[in-house]
Amino acid sequence: MVPPGLYAIGHPSPDDPVLVTANYKMSYDIVRQALAGRSVWLLVLETYGINVWCAAGKGTFGTGEVVRRVTSSGLARVVRHRRLILPILGAPGVSAHQVAQRCGFSVSYAAIRAADLPAYLDSGLVTAPAMREMSFSFYERLVLIPVELVLALKSIALAGGALFLLFAISSGRAAALSALLAWFGASLTGIVAGPLLLPWLPGRSFAVKGAVAGLVWSALFLLLSGGNQWNILVKSAVFLVLPAVSAFYTLNFTGCTPFTSRSGVKKEMRTAIPAMGGALLLGALLVLLGTFY
């Protein structure tokens, strides 16, 4: 975490612009990198090590903190102008007109990405249309996946262990290994394949996208584990349970995207969660029937 406060990049004069960012180490570094070779002021807010977008959502990158930091740093004595330059993704936490009322500094929202700051400054503080357009490219999705994997690891390992024991006791080692493969595959399909293939998976609902990817994994799993000889009950269970698992994890990815709304996620959860629960129950029942009859 970077200590909040006013920083000088290069050798800024009282007329040089003041940019505002969060005290997440990566935000701070990226902004500094983008501004290398220039002379500007950088006002770092206390967001408790959280990035601009998430902190704005929580309100820590907010009106109160901007005003507090402007006051405590004595910014009005350091610069002659009265303008703050903020990232666009900070706007959900900051009310520009209230900042102006409370500390006398006007707010300009510059760009979404720090990489656009040089162009913004060079063009006389004008935001080109592309600078306020969100993107979510393959690469931008890819870099999010490792964190998602780590966050899910514990629950995947626990459930995997329980599943393994259950099948080992009831049907032996081979079945237990198959169940473990099915479970890991379905989880990875939901956490890795779903997000990466997001624009190409059918439907708008994340749960549907995840379920479709899960269906593909179900077929692949049957091929891999020689499940063609299994009875129809167990085979049906595979196509019920695995897509439900993948759907759950892909639905979880809504929190990582810059375009899903709260109302939308609520709406799809109202149908998706009961559907997943039903699929899991029915699948478990079919496996029981298929194993013992």
CB 107 within 8 A of CB 94: yes
Q: Which of 71, 135, 231, 271 binds other proteins (CB under 8 A)?
A: 135
> Looking at beta carbons only, is 25 or 97 nearer to other proteins?
97
Residue with tokens 């206390």, as numbered in its chain = 46
- Least Å distance, CB 73 to other proteins, is 23
Q: Does 91 bind other proteins (CB under 8 A)?
A: yes
Q: Does 198 bind other proteins (CB under 8 A)?
A: yes
Q: Does 134 bind other proteins (CB under 8 A)?
A: yes
**Residue type for position 279:** A
**Residue type for position 30:** I
Nearest to residue 17, comparing CAs of 120, 162, 151?
120
Q: Which range in 83-91, 116-124, 232-240, 275-283 contacts other proteins by CB under 8 A?
A: 83-91
Q: Does 269 bind other proteins (CB under 8 A)?
A: yes
* Residue 220 parent element (H or E): helix 206-224
Restricted to residues 11-50, the positions that interact with other proteins (CB under 8 A) are none
Residue 109, classed as helix, strand or coil, is strand
- Site string (220-239) toward other proteins, x via CB under 8 A: --------------------
CB 250 within 8 A of CB 194: yes
Q: Does 97 bind other proteins (CB under 8 A)?
A: yes
Cα distance between residue 222 and residue 127, in whole Å: 53
Q: Does 265 bind other proteins (CB under 8 A)?
A: yes
Residue 107 in tokens = 């707010």
* Residue 44 parent element (H or E): strand 40-45
Give the interface with other proteins as residue ranges (CB under 8 A): 54, 56-57, 88-89, 91-97, 109, 112, 127, 132-136, 151-152, 154-155, 198-199, 204-206, 251-252, 254-255, 257-269
